[in-house]
Structures are given as C-alpha cells and as structure tokens.
C-alpha cells in the first residue's frame, strides 16, 4: 500500500503549524488551525482505505462485500462536528479581540506578559 | 447491571441543554438554583459510583453491546475508584464554584450556568470512560466549555487574549492527540483501551507505536500544563472568572495527568514493560522541570490569581513526578497529593475571589495594607498556603511522603529537594501577599523595570457589600479546611493504595473489561509513614523567605538579583500565541526524540 496519504497528512500538519506560528493575523491563525485539522481527516480516511472496496453502506450491496473501514469515517465526522464548535468560538474571540484591542495582529496584543 | 454509570454525564448535559433552550424564560436566580441542585445530584451519583467501584471495577457497555469472544464491539465506561473519585472532585468543586458565584455575577444571564454544567458533564465522562476516542471527545467538549468560560468577560481586552491563547494552544494539543489515536487505530484496529492494550501486548513496540505514544501523551500533557506546554495556563487563570479558576486548577489540569496515566497503564505499559526505567527518567525530568519553572515564576508575580496559577504549575510538576515513578505508591501519593491540592488551591482561588470582590483588585502593590478588614479571608489564605507547604495532616504532606518513599526505592531520593523548592517558593509567595496586604509589612512600591507589568483586573461583581457574603466565605473556608486536614480521614491511604494497585494492573484491567473476569485482590504493599519534618521545614522556610523579602532590604535586593536568573524564563511567557505553539512543537519533538532513543 502507498505511503503517499500519510506523507501528505504529515505535510499538511506541518504547514498548518508553520502558518500558525508565523501568523500575523488572528483569522489567518485560526484558519491555520483548521488546516492542521484537515491533516487528521486525511490521516483517518487513509487509515480506513482499502483498494477496490465499496463505501460502507450496505443498503444496495450484498453483505460480505469488501468495504472501507466505517469506524474511522465516523471518527472523522465526529471530529468535524467537535472542531466546528471550537473554530466558531475562536472566530468569535477574534472579533472580540478586534473590538477590544483594535488589532488582530498577535504581535501587538499586549494585555498579558510575564 | 444498573443504569447508574451514564447518569453523571447525561444529567448535567441534559439540564444544560434545557437551561440554554429556556434561556429567555428562566430568571438568573432560578437558573442558579437549578444548576446547584443538578450538581448536588451529580455529586451524589458520583459518590454512589465511587462506593460501588471500590470492591471491583465497574464495566458498563452502552446499549448492552457486550464483548464477543474477547473482542470489544461497543463503547464502554470503565469505572475504577480513581476515575470515580476524580468525577466526585469535579462535582464538589463545581458545586463550590456555583455556590460562590451565586452572588458573584450580577449581570450575567443563564449561559454561565449552562457552560458550567457542560464542563462538569464532560469532566465526568472524561474520568469514567474506557474508550480512547471517547476520551478525545470528552476532552474536546471539556476544552470548548473551558475556553468559553475563560473568555466569559468578553467586554475586556485581557480575557479575550487569554482565552485565545488557551484555546489555540490546547486545540493544537488536541490535534496531536487525535493523530496519535489515528495511528494507534491503524496499528490495532481498536479504540477500546483494553482491546488496544491486549493487541499491543502481542507485538514488539515499533516506531509507529512510539510516535503514537508521543502524540497521545503530549496531547494530554498540554492540558496538564507540563513544561514546556504550560504557557497557556497562567494566561488563562489570570483572566478567567475566579470560580472558573477553581475548576481549572482543582481538577481540569489534573484530569490531563489522569489521562496520561490511564492511557499509559491500560495501553502502553505492556509493550513498553522492558523500558520502564527509561520512561521513569523521562517523566521525572518533565515533572522536575515543571515544578521548578512554576516555583521560580510564582515568587515574582504581583497578580494574586497569576501567582496561584504558577503555584498550580509547580504542584502539578510534583504530581507528574508521582505518576512518573510508575509504581503503586507513587501513583497513590499522586492521588493523595491531588486531593489535598484540589482542596487547598480551590480554597485559595475562592479567597482571591473574595479579595477581588471586597477590595476591587488582586494586585499586590495596590493592596498594601488594604486587606486588613478581611481578617478571616486572609486567615483562610494563610491556611491554604500552609496546607500547600505540607503542614502535618494536610493532604499534600501525606501525598508528598508517599511520593518520596516511592522515589527512594528507585534511587530518585533527590526528588525531596524538588518538592521542597516547589513548596517553599509557592507558599512564600502567598505568605508575602498576606503579610504585605494585611499587615502592610514591607516597602511601599518596590517598582523596578523588571517587575512584571500590571495586568488589568476588573472587578467581577457590583460593589456595595459591607461584609463578605456567607455564600462566598463558607465554600472557601470548607475547601481550605478539607485540604488542611485531609490526612485525618482514617484509612484513606489504604483506599488510595488499593485504588492505585487496581489502576496499574494492566492485565487485570484488560481481563475485567474484555473477559468479564473480576480482578483478583492483591496484597497491599506497605504504606509509608508521614514525614512531619519535611512539611514543617518547608513551612518554616516559606515563612522565613517571605519575611526576609519584606523586612530585610538587603535580602530583598539579593533576592531580586536571583530573580534576574528567572528573567529568561519570564521572557518566554510573552503572551504571544505563536511563541506558545513553537514551545509546544519543540516539546513534542523533544519528547518524541527522547522516546525513540529510549524505547527502541
């Protein structure tokens, strides 16, 4: 089996991390967080993938047909739902930050230090 | 089989949903009462679970999906005394925080109570579950509620920034965790902790398992606030409402460590059994760094809440050491320490809340001599600090002695000095606060350019109380009292040692969950006696240090010179979220590298 999906997942993770660390804008920063999250989608779906297998919906295919792993797909969907909440909350914080600090550049947020 | 196990999760979540739905119809006071009653019921259920789990671990399969032929099909709650006990602490602290805040927020709607109940439900689920992915989901739910509570005062600048740092750092930790879970699933095809453990036992640990171990452990260590993952904690504590800080310091951070221990003992301890010694060194290094960084930063703080936050980091470091010894007595000591710390630190945070309510500030230099009209609160503050230093009979003191005796047996005797340094510096900082603000001892405004800047701390309440309301003082006093005299509970150390034994019994846990075989009773190991001397020495040194700082000018100057060494560490606490994530990344990379070198 191919290692390509795993390499891609790792690459997306690292790119997101790099973007997050060097970000100069909170919205960009939060989207970078979503990018990191996308790497977990790729990883999970790649783990469950089987060459030539059908989707794990047995409504119109006979039982016993090879199917991709449904557990990781369920895990991935749960992950999407959970993370939408967090990203929405974070974007709300970004809006509030703009209102209270007058900036969305993390370098210029000065309320907390030491 | 009873339907008891899911209730501590289901009830708070259901009531929270109801309260949120009826937001516009329920009065603030009514919602406060509903939340308090729900939490009280929850505590009662958790205590029932705790009592039932002491003789034997409870295994509950949702929907009755029992394992077939030793293969787990469904999702389980696996409840042992340590998990159930943590759920109890979560309930009790939430109850205290809700009672405390019933007079606290005058202007908030019901959403505060909704978030608190969600937080409670998620923490209970986290402590009770026996499924790795469930652990992640409850972790995220708990985190989301915590972020929202942290940034509750959105009309001020500091809370928004603190909540943002907290949320971004912890979410990155969550992704590391999820990646780790994915890798474990790829290797074992299972999400049930026992099932993963059994599958991994049958194969040598490869690089994939070590990487998965790194990601999962580091993901939880972010929540535990172990160095270098701890930077979010002081920001979050400095800005969160004080009753919420009680939950952060008293239980949420500890739950992170609980998960590290739970996953290690159920999943990885079998396949890493050849390299226990190396892992012990790794965990103890992390714990030592955490204890020292927290203690060093703590003494230099001027904001009481931030000071207490660094004290939490330092004490968590000692707890990490307790777990990191990877022995029954070490873990039992950690559990005892956690209990004592939960009581004392929650009491201290509630006292800080009272000071903020009555004096409108928690800044050291602004408060000089101004807390003289709060004698009882300051007395409770001093008792809490004494309990954390380890006065005889306090929970921290007995936990500390258990950790020391376990450490001595594995040639880690120098850990005594780490916990001494941690206890002295953190308690001295609180004593200094008490003496300076109550008796007005010390210089007027010892300002120097190196002093940390003042963080804006807006009062959370309407002014006007001529005396401290009982709903605020009673929870603070009771919790401090519990922390101060925990060790008079007869037989508690026996219960905890047995619980730790049950917790660390890798194969017993797996057989109990998958084959429904009750774990055999084992002979209890010898329980160490309490060392009074260590706690008293810590206390004396802490009082001495605080007085030295306040009364002796040359001593203060030399201390300030010593504090220069801490400057480098302090500069790392920049409040910049990118810096925090950089530290986190380096931490994960370092842990992974060390694990790969040590475990191959």
Model pLDDT for residues B16-48, shown as the tens digit of each residue: 999 998 888 888 788 889 999 999 999 999 999
Residue, of B123 and B538, whose pLDDT is higher: B123
Determine the Cα–Cα distance for residues B61 and B5; give it in Å rounded to an integer: 10
Going by C-alpha positions, the residue among B34, B380, B96 that lies closest to residue B246 is: B96
Share of chain B above pLDDT 70, in %: 93
Mean pLDDT of chain A: 89
A111: which chain B residues are within 8 Å (Cβ-Cβ)? Answer: 157-158, 161-162, 455-456, 575
Judge whether residue B448 has pLDDT over 60: no
Determine the Cα–Cα distance for residues B5 and B1; give it in Å rounded to an integer: 10
- In a mutational test of the A interface, the residue from B454, B457, B581 whose CB has the highest number of chain A CBs within 10 Å is B581
| pLDDT, average across residues A77-90 | 91
Determine the Cα–Cα distance for residues B218 and B588; give it in Å rounded to an integer: 6
Share of chain A above pLDDT 90, in %: 54
CB contact under 8 A, B185 and A22: no
- Which residue of chain A has the CA closest to B167? A90
- Whether the CB of A45 is below 8 Å from some CB of chain B: the reply is no
In a domain, B459, yes or no: no
- Which residue of chain B has the CA closest to A80? B137
Model pLDDT for residues B269-320, shown as the tens digit of each residue: 998 988 899 999 999 999 999 999 999 889 888 889 999 999 999 999 999 9
Model pLDDT for residues A25-76, shown as the tens digit of each residue: 999 999 999 999 999 999 999 998 888 888 888 888 888 888 888 899 999 9
CB contact under 8 A, B164 and A90: yes
- Which residue of chain A has the CA closest to B181? A44
CB contact under 8 A, A71 and B165: no
pLDDT of the residue at B539:
84
Q: Categorise residue B69: left if φ over 0, alpha if ψ from -120 to 50, beta otherwise.
A: left
Residue A112 has its nearest CB partner, among B133, B162, B191, at B162
Model pLDDT for residues B490-537, shown as the tens digit of each residue: 888 888 998 999 999 999 999 999 988 887 777 666 666 667 788 888
Confidence of residue B465 (pLDDT cuts 50, 70, 90): low
DSSP-based three-state secondary structure for B131: strand
In a domain, B95, yes or no: yes
DSSP-based three-state secondary structure for B59: strand
pLDDT of the residue at B529:
67
- In a mutational test of the A interface, the residue from B171, B296, B585 whose CB has the highest number of chain A CBs within 10 Å is B171
Determine the Cα–Cα distance for residues B338 and B122; give it in Å rounded to an integer: 19
- Which residue of chain B has the CA closest to A48? B186
CB contact under 8 A, B178 and A110: no
ipTM of the complex: 0.95
CB contact under 8 A, A30 and B182: no
CB contact under 8 A, B179 and A71: no
Domain A4-108 fold is Helix Hairpins (1.10.287)
Residue B523 makes CB contacts below 8 A (sequence gap 6+) with none
Confidence of residue B159 (pLDDT cuts 50, 70, 90): confident
Going by C-alpha positions, the residue among B383, B384, B418, B382 that lies closest to residue B400 is: B418
In a domain, B458, yes or no: no
In a domain, B2, yes or no: no
Determine the Cα–Cα distance for residues A114 and B510; give it in Å rounded to an integer: 46
Segment holding B58, helix H or strand E: strand B58-61
What are B77's strand-pairing partners?
B60, B129
- Please report the DSSP string for B60-128 in residue order: EEGGG---BTTB--S-EEEE-HHHHHHHHHHHHHHHHHHHHHTTT-SS--THHHHHHHHHHHHHHHHHH
In a domain, B450, yes or no: no
- Which residue of chain A has the CA closest to B581? A21
Burial of B593 (0-12, 13-18, 19+ CB in 10 A): exposed
Determine the Cα–Cα distance for residues B392 and B534; give it in Å rounded to an integer: 9
pLDDT of the residue at B64:
87
Mean pLDDT of chain B: 88
| pLDDT, average across residues B66-77 | 89
Model pLDDT for residues B350-366, shown as the tens digit of each residue: 999 999 888 888 888 88
| Residue B528: DSSP 8-state | P
Judge whether residue B11 has pLDDT over 60: yes
Judge whether residue B548 has pLDDT over 90: no
Domain that residue B558 falls in: 7-444+466-599
Contact (CB, 8 A) for B360 and B463: yes
pLDDT of the residue at B443:
74
- Which residue of chain B has the CA closest to A104? B161
pLDDT of the residue at B456:
55
Going by C-alpha positions, the residue among B159, B296, B154, B161 that lies closest to residue B576 is: B161
CB contact under 8 A, A114 and B178: no
Judge whether residue B76 has pLDDT over 70: yes
pLDDT of the residue at A109:
80
pLDDT of the residue at B302:
85
Confidence of residue B109 (pLDDT cuts 50, 70, 90): low
Query: Number of CB pairs < 8 Å for A and B?
Result: 132
Determine the Cα–Cα distance for residues B505 and B577; give it in Å rounded to an integer: 40
Judge whether residue B371 has pLDDT over 60: yes
Residue B455 has its nearest CB partner, among A20, A94, A111, at A111
Q: Provide the token pair at B130.
A: 């026996």
A109: which chain B residues are within 8 Å (Cβ-Cβ)? Answer: 161, 575-576
- Whether the CB of A75 is below 8 Å from some CB of chain B: the reply is yes
What are B60's strand-pairing partners?
B77
Judge whether residue B71 has pLDDT over 60: yes
pLDDT of the residue at B318:
95
What residue has token string 């801490």? Answer: B566
pLDDT of the residue at B136:
94
Judge whether residue B114 has pLDDT over 60: yes
- Which residue of chain A has the CA closest to B453? A113
Q: Residue B490: is the preceding peptide bond cis (ω within 30°)?
A: no
Compute the half-sphere exposure of residue B498: CA atoms within 13 Å on the CB side of its CA.
Answer: 17
Determine the Cα–Cα distance for residues B572 and B232; give it in Å rounded to an integer: 12
Q: Provide the token pair at A50.
A: 């089987």
Residue B220 makes CB contacts below 8 A (sequence gap 6+) with B139, B173, B177, B256, B257, B259, B260, B263
Extents of the domains making up chain A: 4-108
Judge whether residue A20 has pLDDT over 80: yes
- Smallest CA–CA separation between A52 and chain B, in Å? 19
What residue has token string 């309320």? Answer: A111
| Contacts of B6-10 spanning 24+ positions with Cβ under 8 A | B6/B60, B6/B62, B6/B77, B7/B42, B7/B45, B8/B42, B8/B45, B8/B46, B8/B49, B8/B87, B8/B91, B8/B121, B8/B124, B8/B125, B8/B128, B9/B121, B9/B122, B9/B124, B9/B125, B9/B128, B10/B121
Number of domains in chain B: 1
In a domain, B457, yes or no: no
Residue A39 makes CB contacts below 8 A (sequence gap 6+) with A9, A10, A11, A12, A13, A16, B175, B179
In a domain, B340, yes or no: yes
Model pLDDT for residues B395-437, shown as the tens digit of each residue: 898 899 999 989 988 889 899 999 999 999 999 999 989 888 8
Model pLDDT for residues B215-259, shown as the tens digit of each residue: 999 999 999 999 889 999 989 998 899 999 999 999 999 999 999
A32-to-A24, A26, A36, B499 alpha-carbon distances in Å: 12, 10, 6, 43
pLDDT of the residue at B450:
45
Burial of B516 (0-12, 13-18, 19+ CB in 10 A): exposed
Contact (CB, 8 A) for B348 and B381: yes
| Residue A67: DSSP 8-state | B
pLDDT of the residue at B156:
79
Determine the Cα–Cα distance for residues B563 and B570; give it in Å rounded to an integer: 10
- Smallest CA–CA separation between A61 and chain B, in Å? 23
């Amino acid at each position: 089996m191919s290692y390509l999906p795993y390499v891609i997942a790792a690459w997306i993770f690292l790119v997101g991390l790099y973007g997050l660390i060097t970000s100069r804008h909170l919205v960009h920063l939060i989207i970078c967080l979503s990018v990191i999250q996308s790497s977990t989608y790729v990883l999970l779906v790649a783990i469950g993938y089987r060459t030539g297998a059908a989707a794990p919906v047995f409504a119109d295919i006979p039982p016993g047909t090879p199917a991709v792993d449904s557990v990781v797909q369920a895990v991935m969907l749960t992950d999407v739902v959970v993370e939408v909440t967090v990203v929405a909350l974070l974007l709300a914080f970004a809006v509030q930050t703009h209102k209270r600090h007058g900036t969305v550049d993390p370098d210029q947020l000065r309320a907390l230090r030491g | 089989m009873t339907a008891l196990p899911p209730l501590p999760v289901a009830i708070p979540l259901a009531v929270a949903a109801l309260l949120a739905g009826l937001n516009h119809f329920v009065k603030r006071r009514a919602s406060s009462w509903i939340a308090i009653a729900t939490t009280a019921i929850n505590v009662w259920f958790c205590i029932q679970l705790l009592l039932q789990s002491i003789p034997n671990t409870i295994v509950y399969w949702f929907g009755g999906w029992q394992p077939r032929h030793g293969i787990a099909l469904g999702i389980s709650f696996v409840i042992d005394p340590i998990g159930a006990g943590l759920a109890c602490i979560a309930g009790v602290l939430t109850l205290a925080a809700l009672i405390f805040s019933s007079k606290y927020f005058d202007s908030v709607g019901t959403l505060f109570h909704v978030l608190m109940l969600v937080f409670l439900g998620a923490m209970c689920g986290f402590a009770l579950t026996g499924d790795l992915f469930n652990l992640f989901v409850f972790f995220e739910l708990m985190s989301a509620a915590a972020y929202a509570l942290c940034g509750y005062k959105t009309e001020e600048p500091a809370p928004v920034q603190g909540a943002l740092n907290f949320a971004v750092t912890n979410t990155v930790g969550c992704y590391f965790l999820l990646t780790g879970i994915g890798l474990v699933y790829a290797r074992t095809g299972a999400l049930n902790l026992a099932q993963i453990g059994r599958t991994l036992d049958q194969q040598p640990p490869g690089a994939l398992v070590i990487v998965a171990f790194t990601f999962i452990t580091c993901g939880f260590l972010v929540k535990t606030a172990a160095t270098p993952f701890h930077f979010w904690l002081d920001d979050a504590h400095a800005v969160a409402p004080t009753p919420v800080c009680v939950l952060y310091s008293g239980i949420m951070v500890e739950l992170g460590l609980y998960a590290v221990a739970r996953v290690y003992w159920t999943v990885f301890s079998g396949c890493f059994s050849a390299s226990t010694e190396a892992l012990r060194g790794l965990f103890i290094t992390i714990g030592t760094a955490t204890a020292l960084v927290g203690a060093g930063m703590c003494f230099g703080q001027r904001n009481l809440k931030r000071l207490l936050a660094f004290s939490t980091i330092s004490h968590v470091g000692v707890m990490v050491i307790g777990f990191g010894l990877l022995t029954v007595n070490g873990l039992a000591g950690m559990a005892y320490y956690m209990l004592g710390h939960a009581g004392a630190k929650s009491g201290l945070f509630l006292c800080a809340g009272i000071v903020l309510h009555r004096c409108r500030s928690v800044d050291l230099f602004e408060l000089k001599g101004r807390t003289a009209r709060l004698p009882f609160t300051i007395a409770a503050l001093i008792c809490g600090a004494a309990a954390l230093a380890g006065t005889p009979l306090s929970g921290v003191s007995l936990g500390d002695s258990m950790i020391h005796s376990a450490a001595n047996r594995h040639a880690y005797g120098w850990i005594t000095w780490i916990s001494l340094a941690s206890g002295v510096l953190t308690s001295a900082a609180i004593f200094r606060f008490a003496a300076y603000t109550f008796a007005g001892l010390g210089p007027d405004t010892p300002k120097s350019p190196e002093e940390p800047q003042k963080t804006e701390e807006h009062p959370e309440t309407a002014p006007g109380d001529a005396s401290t309301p009982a709903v605020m003082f009673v929870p603070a006093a009771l919790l401090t009292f519990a922390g101060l005299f925990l060790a008079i509970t007869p037989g508690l150390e026996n219960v905890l040692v047995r619980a730790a034994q049950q917790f660390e019994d890798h194969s017993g846990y797996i057989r109990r969950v998958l084959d429904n075989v009750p774990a055999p009773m084992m002979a209890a190991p010898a329980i160490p006696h309490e060392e009074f001397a260590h706690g008293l020495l810590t206390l004396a040194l802490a009082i001495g240090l605080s007085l030295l700082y306040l009364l002796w000018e040359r001593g203060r100057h030399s201390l300030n010179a010593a504090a220069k060494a801490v400057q480098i560490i302090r500069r790392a606490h920049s409040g910049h979220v990118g810096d925090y994530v950089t530290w986190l990344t380096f931490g994960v990379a370092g842990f992974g590298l060390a694990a790969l070198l040590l475990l191959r």
